[in-house]
Amino acid sequence: MLHRLTTPLSPAQVSALTAGDTVLLSGVLHTGRDAAHKRIAELLTAGEPPPFDMRGAAIYYTGPCPAPRGFPIGSCGPTTSGRMDAYTPLLLQAGLTVMIGKGGRDPQVVEAMVRHGAVYLAATGGAGALLAGCVRSSRVLAFPELGAEAVYRLEVSDMPLIVAIDSRGRDLYAEGQGRYARDCGA
């Protein structure tokens, strides 16, 4: 099923998504990789506000390349999401609703997603230039000293994504590995 969604997402929008669905996502995304996640987690642990409102928010695991002349951003392909797994349950507890990246997630992250009603959307690895074409504006929001790992605020239009793990815990990565093991007799 195809969903056209605009951030921030409501709990009803998130619960309507099923693993395997296609999403064209528009609105505001924030970027963050492991260095930014560590800093955000430190702020939350200290009782300080994060650099953006987490409630209903979407975070895209990417470290964008510098913008070519006339473009809002350079190539911005997804980063392997497992690098953020240690910090993700805390961010979900703070209200983060949508995560975008590539690769599987730790079972503890999937459990936290179910507990907090969040979804994990997969972006196609190797398609950073295509995904950059969905970005309408980009600016550094926090931690500029981290360079490409700073937190950016992106406005996107119709970013093509797939629901990899839904808010009920259905996980396409785990299902695929299970089918492979079954079909190959592993």
Name the residue among 66, 56, 75 with its Cα closest to residue 9.
Answer: 56
| Residue-wise pLDDT tens digits, 91-126 | 999 999 999 999 999 999 999 999 999 999 999 988
The domain that holds 139 is classified in CATH as 3.20.130.10
**Domains in the chain: how many in total?**
1
pLDDT at 58: 97
| Residue-wise pLDDT tens digits, 145-166 | 999 999 999 999 999 999 999 9
Q: Which tokens hold the place of 121?
A: 């959307």
Q: How far is residue 56 CA from its own chain's centroid?
A: 12
pLDDT exceeds 60 at position 178? no
Query: What's the pTM?
Result: 0.93
Tally of CB atoms within 10 A around 175: 12
pLDDT exceeds 80 at position 179? no
Q: Which tokens hold the place of 145?
A: 């000293």
pLDDT exceeds 70 at position 36? yes
Structural domain of 27: 2-184
14-35 average pLDDT score: 97
pLDDT exceeds 90 at position 83? yes
pLDDT at 174: 86
Name the residue among 165, 163, 179 with its Cα closest to residue 2.
Answer: 163
